[in-house]
Structure 1
Amino acid sequence: MIVRIMGEGQWELADESLDQLNAVDGDLEKAVAAGDEAGFRTAFAALLDFVRSGAKVPDGDLHDSDAILPPSDSSLAEMRELISGDGLIAG
């Protein structure tokens, strides 16, 4: 699975990590739905850290992204606009 963080690049995550990725994304979705700013910051940082723990795709290698995450400086209001019923990560 290839995940892009806007403004940072792409990371490759093992397919086996999808359940854990969805759990972290679920925490983010709950915090955003509750309007919990502190919870949003914590959950979004955890999601970005999880993605960054994968293998960084060299900048010169372009791959289709399975998921695209907003930049790390995104606000709660911006995230509310982006999150659908499935969070940021579909699946």
Structure 2
Amino acid sequence: MIMRVLGEGQFEVAEADLNRLNQLDDDLLQAVEAGDEAAFRSALGTLLAAVREVGTPLPPESLEPSDLILPDAEASLEQVRELLRDEGDGLIPGLPE
């Protein structure tokens, strides 16, 4: 799966890592729903760090379509709230059961 982090670029992430990322996404969703700015900042930073850790950066000249687009680390709680409204269940989908 190819994930784009706005302002940073694209990362290829293995399917095996999606459950972990989805759990971090759930933490982000809870922080946004609670309106907790500190928890939101922490959860967003942790999610983006995990994508960088498990993902393989694609070259900047690569023109691969992104499967998911994640906000940058400076995104506001309200901006992420809007993204979550558009996506429904979070920014990163869970794997089918």
TM over 0.5: yes
Equivalent-residue separation in structure 2 for 1:71 and 1:87 (angstroms): 15
Structure 2 residue aligned with 1:70: 71
1:80 maps to a residue whose letter is R
Equivalent-residue separation in structure 1 for 2:72 and 2:46 (angstroms): 13
Structure 2 SS opposite 1:31: helix
Structure 2 residue aligned with 1:79: 80
Q: How well do the aligned residues superpose, as a CA RMSD in angstroms?
A: 1.0
1:38 maps to a residue whose letter is A
Q: Which moved more, 1:34-43 or 1:64-73?
A: 64-73
Q: 4+ runs of 1 displaced by more than 6 Å? A: none
1:87 maps to a residue whose letter is G
Unaligned runs of 5+ in 2: none
Unaligned runs of 5+ in 1: none
Equivalent-residue separation in structure 2 for 1:79 and 1:55 (angstroms): 24
Equivalent-residue separation in structure 2 for 1:3 and 1:88 (angstroms): 10
Identical counterparts, % of pairs: 53
2:3 maps to a residue whose letter is V
Are 1:10 and 2:10 counterparts? yes
Are 1:48 and 2:51 counterparts? no
Are 1:33 and 2:33 counterparts? yes
- Offset of 1:90 from its aligned partner? 2.5
